[in-house]
Structure 1
Amino acid sequence: MDQTSDPTPLADHDLAALVPEWIDWAEAARRLGVTVGKVRTMIRDHELAAAVPNPGEPGAGQRIPADLIQDGLPVKGLPGLLTLLHDGHFTDREIIAWLFLDADLPGRPIDALRENRGSEVKRRAQAMAL
Protein backbone atom coordinates (compact mmCIF):
# COMPACT_ATOMS: atom_id res chain seq x y z
CA MET A 1 0.00 0.00 0.00
CA ASP A 2 1.29 3.42 -0.85
CA GLN A 3 1.20 5.23 2.44
CA THR A 4 2.90 8.40 1.27
CA SER A 5 -0.20 10.38 2.20
CA ASP A 6 -0.29 8.78 5.69
CA PRO A 7 2.96 7.37 7.10
CA THR A 8 1.19 5.98 10.20
CA PRO A 9 1.55 2.19 10.41
CA LEU A 10 -1.80 0.50 9.82
CA ALA A 11 -1.87 -1.08 13.28
CA ASP A 12 -1.45 2.34 14.92
CA HIS A 13 -4.55 3.95 13.43
CA ASP A 14 -7.42 4.81 15.74
CA LEU A 15 -10.00 2.27 14.59
CA ALA A 16 -12.70 3.84 16.74
CA ALA A 17 -12.32 7.03 14.71
CA LEU A 18 -12.02 5.30 11.32
CA VAL A 19 -15.01 2.95 11.56
CA PRO A 20 -18.37 4.69 11.93
CA GLU A 21 -20.29 1.76 13.47
CA TRP A 22 -19.09 -1.26 15.40
CA ILE A 23 -21.28 -4.22 16.35
CA ASP A 24 -20.70 -7.00 18.85
CA TRP A 25 -20.69 -10.64 17.85
CA ALA A 26 -24.31 -11.12 18.97
CA GLU A 27 -25.50 -8.30 16.71
CA ALA A 28 -23.41 -9.65 13.84
CA ALA A 29 -25.03 -13.05 14.37
CA ARG A 30 -28.47 -11.43 14.30
CA ARG A 31 -27.72 -9.54 11.07
CA LEU A 32 -26.30 -12.66 9.43
CA GLY A 33 -29.01 -15.00 10.71
CA VAL A 34 -26.48 -17.32 12.35
CA THR A 35 -25.30 -18.21 15.86
CA VAL A 36 -22.57 -16.37 17.75
CA GLY A 37 -20.50 -19.55 17.42
CA LYS A 38 -20.82 -19.30 13.63
CA VAL A 39 -19.65 -15.65 13.80
CA ARG A 40 -16.59 -16.82 15.75
CA THR A 41 -15.93 -19.42 13.03
CA MET A 42 -16.41 -16.81 10.29
CA ILE A 43 -13.80 -14.59 11.95
CA ARG A 44 -11.39 -17.50 12.35
CA ASP A 45 -11.94 -18.53 8.70
CA HIS A 46 -11.41 -14.94 7.47
CA GLU A 47 -14.98 -14.42 6.26
CA LEU A 48 -15.26 -11.47 8.68
CA ALA A 49 -12.71 -9.37 10.57
CA ALA A 50 -12.86 -8.24 14.18
CA ALA A 51 -10.74 -6.04 16.41
CA VAL A 52 -10.89 -4.12 19.67
CA PRO A 53 -11.76 -0.53 18.62
CA ASN A 54 -10.53 1.07 21.88
CA PRO A 55 -7.86 -1.19 23.38
CA GLY A 56 -7.45 1.09 26.40
CA GLU A 57 -11.14 0.92 27.32
CA PRO A 58 -11.83 -1.27 30.37
CA GLY A 59 -13.63 -4.47 29.39
CA ALA A 60 -13.17 -3.73 25.70
CA GLY A 61 -13.83 -6.74 23.54
CA GLN A 62 -13.61 -7.51 19.88
CA ARG A 63 -16.20 -5.94 17.62
CA ILE A 64 -16.95 -6.15 13.93
CA PRO A 65 -17.31 -3.11 11.66
CA ALA A 66 -21.01 -3.04 10.70
CA ASP A 67 -20.06 -2.18 7.10
CA LEU A 68 -18.56 -5.65 6.64
CA ILE A 69 -22.10 -7.06 6.54
CA GLN A 70 -24.47 -6.22 3.69
CA ASP A 71 -27.88 -7.72 2.94
CA GLY A 72 -27.45 -10.46 5.56
CA LEU A 73 -24.06 -11.65 4.27
CA PRO A 74 -20.39 -10.66 4.47
CA VAL A 75 -19.75 -8.01 1.79
CA LYS A 76 -19.11 -9.60 -1.60
CA GLY A 77 -15.41 -10.20 -2.11
CA LEU A 78 -14.53 -9.62 1.55
CA PRO A 79 -13.65 -13.23 2.50
CA GLY A 80 -11.20 -13.58 -0.41
CA LEU A 81 -9.67 -10.21 0.38
CA LEU A 82 -9.26 -11.10 4.07
CA THR A 83 -7.61 -14.41 3.19
CA LEU A 84 -5.26 -12.70 0.73
CA LEU A 85 -4.18 -10.10 3.29
CA HIS A 86 -3.87 -12.64 6.12
CA ASP A 87 -1.63 -14.72 3.84
CA GLY A 88 0.45 -11.54 3.49
CA HIS A 89 0.79 -11.49 7.32
CA PHE A 90 -1.63 -8.62 7.97
CA THR A 91 -3.68 -8.71 11.19
CA ASP A 92 -7.41 -8.06 11.37
CA ARG A 93 -6.62 -4.70 12.98
CA GLU A 94 -4.36 -3.68 10.06
CA ILE A 95 -6.86 -4.94 7.50
CA ILE A 96 -9.74 -3.02 9.07
CA ALA A 97 -7.63 0.14 9.15
CA TRP A 98 -6.77 -0.27 5.46
CA LEU A 99 -10.39 -0.97 4.49
CA PHE A 100 -11.57 2.23 6.17
CA LEU A 101 -8.71 4.55 5.12
CA ASP A 102 -8.99 6.79 2.09
CA ALA A 103 -5.31 6.49 1.16
CA ASP A 104 -5.08 4.58 -2.13
CA LEU A 105 -8.38 4.63 -3.93
CA PRO A 106 -10.88 7.31 -4.70
CA GLY A 107 -12.88 6.57 -1.57
CA ARG A 108 -12.37 3.88 1.01
CA PRO A 109 -11.78 0.25 -0.03
CA ILE A 110 -14.80 -0.86 2.02
CA ASP A 111 -17.04 1.47 -0.01
CA ALA A 112 -15.69 0.07 -3.28
CA LEU A 113 -16.41 -3.48 -2.08
CA ARG A 114 -19.94 -2.54 -0.97
CA GLU A 115 -20.58 -0.93 -4.37
CA ASN A 116 -19.40 -4.07 -6.20
CA ARG A 117 -16.19 -2.36 -7.39
CA GLY A 118 -13.86 -4.89 -5.82
CA SER A 119 -11.42 -5.49 -8.69
CA GLU A 120 -9.21 -2.50 -7.93
CA VAL A 121 -9.39 -3.21 -4.19
CA LYS A 122 -8.20 -6.78 -4.77
CA ARG A 123 -5.42 -5.63 -7.10
CA ARG A 124 -4.10 -3.20 -4.49
CA ALA A 125 -4.42 -5.79 -1.75
CA GLN A 126 -2.40 -8.26 -3.82
CA ALA A 127 0.33 -5.65 -4.26
CA MET A 128 0.34 -5.01 -0.49
CA ALA A 129 0.49 -8.69 0.42
CA LEU A 130 3.61 -9.39 -1.66
Structure 2
Amino acid sequence: MPDVAQRLGVRLTDVRRMIEEGDLVAVRVGERRVLQVPAAFVDDDGPLPALRGTFTVLRDARMSDDEVVAWLFARDETLPGGATTAVEAIRAGFKTEVRRRAMEEAL
Protein backbone atom coordinates (compact mmCIF):
# COMPACT_ATOMS: atom_id res chain seq x y z
CA MET A 1 0.00 0.00 0.00
CA PRO A 2 2.82 2.46 0.56
CA ASP A 3 3.77 1.93 -3.09
CA VAL A 4 0.27 2.92 -4.20
CA ALA A 5 0.36 6.02 -2.01
CA GLN A 6 3.73 7.00 -3.43
CA ARG A 7 2.66 6.35 -7.03
CA LEU A 8 -0.43 8.50 -6.58
CA GLY A 9 1.29 11.16 -4.49
CA VAL A 10 -1.17 10.77 -1.63
CA ARG A 11 -1.00 9.77 2.03
CA LEU A 12 -1.37 6.15 3.11
CA THR A 13 -4.58 7.13 4.91
CA ASP A 14 -5.96 8.31 1.56
CA VAL A 15 -5.29 4.88 0.06
CA ARG A 16 -7.03 3.24 3.01
CA ARG A 17 -10.01 5.55 2.47
CA MET A 18 -10.12 4.57 -1.23
CA ILE A 19 -10.32 0.93 -0.13
CA GLU A 20 -13.03 1.63 2.46
CA GLU A 21 -15.08 3.60 -0.09
CA GLY A 22 -14.81 0.88 -2.74
CA ASP A 23 -12.56 2.71 -5.19
CA LEU A 24 -9.89 0.03 -4.68
CA VAL A 25 -9.71 -3.56 -3.50
CA ALA A 26 -6.81 -4.85 -1.45
CA VAL A 27 -5.90 -8.42 -0.50
CA ARG A 28 -3.54 -9.97 2.00
CA VAL A 29 -0.56 -11.62 0.29
CA GLY A 30 2.39 -13.70 1.36
CA GLU A 31 3.52 -15.32 4.56
CA ARG A 32 3.23 -12.06 6.50
CA ARG A 33 -0.24 -11.40 5.03
CA VAL A 34 0.68 -7.90 3.87
CA LEU A 35 -2.24 -5.87 2.51
CA GLN A 36 -1.64 -5.10 -1.17
CA VAL A 37 -3.47 -3.37 -4.01
CA PRO A 38 -2.79 -4.81 -7.48
CA ALA A 39 -0.84 -2.31 -9.58
CA ALA A 40 -3.27 -2.82 -12.47
CA PHE A 41 -6.02 -1.17 -10.41
CA VAL A 42 -4.39 2.27 -10.58
CA ASP A 43 -2.84 4.57 -13.12
CA ASP A 44 -1.00 7.85 -12.62
CA ASP A 45 -4.33 9.66 -12.03
CA GLY A 46 -5.56 7.31 -9.31
CA PRO A 47 -7.83 4.27 -9.10
CA LEU A 48 -9.27 3.24 -12.45
CA PRO A 49 -12.81 4.68 -12.38
CA ALA A 50 -14.22 1.77 -14.40
CA LEU A 51 -13.27 -0.70 -11.67
CA ARG A 52 -15.48 0.70 -8.91
CA GLY A 53 -18.73 -0.49 -10.49
CA THR A 54 -17.21 -3.85 -11.32
CA PHE A 55 -16.08 -4.26 -7.70
CA THR A 56 -19.65 -3.50 -6.61
CA VAL A 57 -21.21 -6.03 -8.99
CA LEU A 58 -18.82 -8.77 -7.90
CA ARG A 59 -19.31 -8.00 -4.20
CA ASP A 60 -23.08 -8.07 -4.77
CA ALA A 61 -22.49 -11.61 -6.08
CA ARG A 62 -21.16 -12.34 -2.57
CA MET A 63 -17.52 -12.52 -3.64
CA SER A 64 -14.83 -11.78 -1.09
CA ASP A 65 -12.10 -9.32 -2.01
CA ASP A 66 -9.76 -12.26 -2.64
CA GLU A 67 -12.32 -13.74 -5.04
CA VAL A 68 -12.86 -10.37 -6.74
CA VAL A 69 -9.13 -10.04 -7.44
CA ALA A 70 -8.90 -13.66 -8.61
CA TRP A 71 -11.88 -13.15 -10.96
CA LEU A 72 -10.43 -9.97 -12.44
CA PHE A 73 -7.09 -11.68 -13.13
CA ALA A 74 -8.46 -15.07 -14.24
CA ARG A 75 -7.39 -15.99 -17.76
CA ASP A 76 -10.25 -15.73 -20.28
CA GLU A 77 -9.44 -15.91 -23.99
CA THR A 78 -13.03 -14.95 -24.94
CA LEU A 79 -12.71 -11.33 -23.78
CA PRO A 80 -12.84 -8.59 -26.44
CA GLY A 81 -9.92 -6.55 -27.71
CA GLY A 82 -7.35 -9.28 -27.30
CA ALA A 83 -7.50 -9.01 -23.51
CA THR A 84 -6.80 -12.19 -21.59
CA THR A 85 -8.08 -11.02 -18.19
CA ALA A 86 -11.06 -8.93 -17.11
CA VAL A 87 -8.80 -6.21 -15.72
CA GLU A 88 -6.99 -5.99 -19.08
CA ALA A 89 -10.36 -5.71 -20.84
CA ILE A 90 -11.40 -2.88 -18.51
CA ARG A 91 -8.12 -1.06 -19.12
CA ALA A 92 -8.74 -1.48 -22.89
CA GLY A 93 -12.16 0.17 -22.60
CA PHE A 94 -14.47 -2.85 -22.42
CA LYS A 95 -15.95 -2.23 -18.97
CA THR A 96 -19.51 -2.86 -20.14
CA GLU A 97 -18.66 -6.36 -21.36
CA VAL A 98 -16.75 -7.13 -18.18
CA ARG A 99 -19.63 -5.92 -16.01
CA ARG A 100 -22.09 -7.98 -18.06
CA ARG A 101 -20.00 -11.05 -17.31
CA ALA A 102 -19.70 -10.03 -13.66
CA MET A 103 -23.50 -9.77 -13.44
CA GLU A 104 -23.73 -13.33 -14.77
CA GLU A 105 -21.69 -14.36 -11.72
CA ALA A 106 -24.41 -12.88 -9.52
CA LEU A 107 -27.12 -15.09 -11.01
TM-score computed with the length of structure 1 as normaliser: 0.72
Secondary structure of residue in 2 paired with 1:62: strand
Return the alpha-carbon distance in structure 2 between the equivalents of residues 47 and 93 of structure 1: 15
Give how far 1:109 is off. 0.2
2:23 to 38, 41, 47: 47
**Corresponding position of 1:37:** 13
Q: Say yes or no: does 1:78 pair with 2:51.
A: yes
CA contact (8 A) 1:76 1:116 kept: no
**Corresponding position of 1:124:** 101
How many residues are matched? 103
**Corresponding position of 1:108:** 85
Where does structure 2 lack aligned partners over 5 or more consecutive residues?
none
Q: Deviations over 1:68-88 (max 9, x none)?
A: 112322123101111121122
Give how far 1:104 is off. 6.7
Distance 1:27 1:110, change over 3 A: same
Same amino acid, percent of matched pairs:
35
Q: Say yes or no: does 1:99 pair with 2:72.
A: yes
Distance 1:31 1:110, change over 3 A: same
Q: Deviations over 1:51-84 (max 9, x none)?
A: 1222xx1x23111111111232212310111112
CA contact (8 A) 2:19 2:25 kept: yes
Aligned alpha-carbon RMSD (Å): 1.5
Return the alpha-carbon distance in structure 2 between the equivalents of residues 76 and 116 of structure 1: 11
More helix by share: 2
Give how far 1:117 is off. 1.3
TM-score computed with the length of structure 2 as normaliser: 0.86
**Corresponding position of 1:26:** 2
The amino acid of 1:30's aligned partner reads: Q
